[in-house]
Amino acid sequence: MSSASSMESLILQLHEISAVKFGNFKLKSGISSPVYIDLRLIVSYPSLLSQISQTLISAVSSAAPPTTFDLICGVPYTALPIATVVSVNNNIPMLMRRKEIKSYGTGKAIEGVFQPNQTCLIIEDLVTSGASVLETAAPLREIGLKVTDAVVLIDREQGGRENLAENGIRLHALLKLSEMVGVLRRLGKVEEDTEKMVLRFLEENRKISVPKVERERVGKVKLSYGERAKLVKNETGRRLFEVMVQKESNLCLAADVGTAAELLDLADKVGQEICLLKTHVDILPDFTPDFGSKLHAIAEKHNFLIFEDRKFADIGNTVTMQYEGGIFRILEWADIVNAHIISGPGIVDGLKLKGLPRGRGLLLLAEMSSAGNLATGDYTAAAVKIAEDHSDFVIGFISVNPASWQGGQGNPAFIHATPGVQMVTGGDALGQQYNTPYAVIYDRGSDIIIVGRGIIKAADPAQAAREYRIQGWNAYLAKYT
């Protein structure tokens, strides 16, 4: 049977089971239509369901340019049986998107087994504006999957293809609605007046924008810290997420005090409240070679990680020596360090050469919290690109407002830590800008609040740390649930 006759046969079968109806129907987009496609009926016709499923996957396989993918996901609910048949008959792993995320159990938006950066093909029954496909693409992208293509049985030719293209998704459609009506008219299944009415309707409604409510929902689904830990390639990055979950803390103390003795005392006092301790070791006048081992012992006692805020910025060969040698020997005791990318990706190569074999992790400075800083726009985008290229060593970013980045926070395996956090907003005389824990975690999309003076200058640093920990964790729970 030729391709054309095969499509005619499929159109006739859909008409015979009343999956194609003519009359006056209100669509999801809100407009009234003289034709309605009800493909939920095909689950009662196994042979037709199998034919549609195989024809869909064959169309994608023969696309030009070729479409490659690792997984499939059907848009709930009508496309789920189609995707299931495709998966079983072609041995392609399938994911399932929950339309309603439960408040109990795992609370996952996407069910199934996958790896970060795999490509997922979306399967849908028909497309009008493309909203349903975008609603499914959003949580898939949130968990680190790539979505570049969607395949549908019927394109209603009302802007779906264009809307999806604007969001980086290429649409493959077996049938166009105008072609279906033309076939049914030619075979005497519909009257000429009906065909003209449908074609006039399509001409007058060529472009339906994605409904506002759908656009607002895109990108809102979040993964828990525990789920994100499973996506991390780097040992230290994974451990940081796990410590955060174990201690119910997303608080990092910026221990910018005047002496090593003060720092060690402070670390012991607030250690049970924090997941991370940030140091500036080069400001300590009483630094001694055993400082690192002493701090490491306190970190083990209270189960937190150590982050030396060194802000490496030189060429690869130089930072390698700065990291491993000198009087501070940072590599020996700091779980995490950070770096500017001003010198290019070579700086990451240099630090990784020494750090990766020791299981260390690196944060890149994608943004800064000081007024007038230059780490914005293209600089931030470049940091993200370098991080993706070195995800075995880079564990995330120092960032200020990742929710505002193009594409949002990006890969959920990367962690975002934000400095300049206090209980009230404002700034200091030297240009430091402050935001509240809730604003940083819930509104700006960060993961860790970095607090310095709000704890150090408090009358009771341990109690202040507890209050910041609770606020930060409650903001995370509010965002996640």
How far apart (Å, rounded) are the C-alpha atoms in residues 369 and 379? Answer: 15
Active site residues: 311
Structural contact between residues 398 and 366, judged by C-beta atoms closer than 8 angstroms: yes
Please, which residues have CB within 8 angstroms of residue 290's CB and are 6 or more apart in sequence? none
How far apart (Å, rounded) are the C-alpha atoms in residues 333 and 295? Answer: 8
* Nearest of 9, 84, 116 to residue 388 by alpha carbon: 116
* Nearest of 407, 418, 320, 317 to residue 366 by alpha carbon: 418
* Cis? peptide before 65, omega within 30° of 0: yes
Beta-bridge partner residues of 120 = 71
How far apart (Å, rounded) are the C-alpha atoms in residues 105 and 103? Answer: 7
Task: Dump the DSSP string for 316-339.
Answer: HHHHHHHHH-TTT-HHHH-SEEEE
How far apart (Å, rounded) are the C-alpha atoms in residues 255 and 306? Answer: 11
Alpha-helical regions (H) of 209-315: 212-217, 225-229, 235-247, 260-270, 291-302
